[in-house]
Amino acid sequence: MDPIQKLSPTPPNSCCRLNSFKRVGVLLAFHSANIFVAIGGLLSVALLLASMVLMPVWFVALLLVVIAMSAVHGVQQISNKYLMYFGYVVLAAIYIASLSVNWYITVGPYAILAVGAVGIGFFFLSALTMKFLMKIDVHLANFVHSPKANGELEPDECMDRFKLSETSDSSFLLPHIRMTGRVWLGVIYFALHKLLVGGLSLAVLIITVLLPALVIFSGGDVSFFGNQATLGNNPVVYIVLIVSIWLVGAVGMPVVAVRSVKLTWWVCGESKSEQDQTTFLQTQGDVIIPITPEPTASTTNFEALDSKPAVV
Amino acid at 253: M
DSSP secondary structure code for residue 233 in this structure = T
Please say if the pLDDT value at position 52 is more than 50.
Answer: yes
Contacts of 194 (CB under 8 A, 6+ apart): 37, 38, 41, 137, 263
Single pTM value for the model? 0.72
Res 276 pLDDT > 80: no
- Judge contact between 93 and 44, C-beta under 8 A: no
* Cα 174 to chain centroid, rounded: 20
pLDDT-derived band at 45, boundaries 50, 70, 90: very high
Closest among 153, 189, 190 to 270, alpha carbons compared: 153
Domain ranges for the chain: 14-140+176-270
pLDDT in tens, 158-207: 888 888 887 666 666 788 888 888 999 999 999 999 999 999 999 999 99
Question: Amino acid identity, residue 146?
Answer: S
With 0-12 / 13-18 / 19 or more C-beta atoms within 10 angstroms meaning exposed / middle / buried, residue 74 is: exposed
User: Per residue in 99-127, is it b (16+ CB within 10 Å) or e — as a string?
Assistant: eeeeeeeeeebeebbeebeebbebbebbb
- pLDDT tens-place string over residues 68-123: 888 888 888 888 888 888 888 888 887 777 777 776 777 788 888 899 899 999 99
Would you say 256 and 200 are in contact if contact means Cβ atoms under 8 Å apart?
Answer: yes
* pLDDT single digits (tens) 207-242: 988 888 887 777 666 666 655 566 666 777 777 888
Q: Which residues touch 293 (CB under 8 Å, ≥6 apart)?
A: none
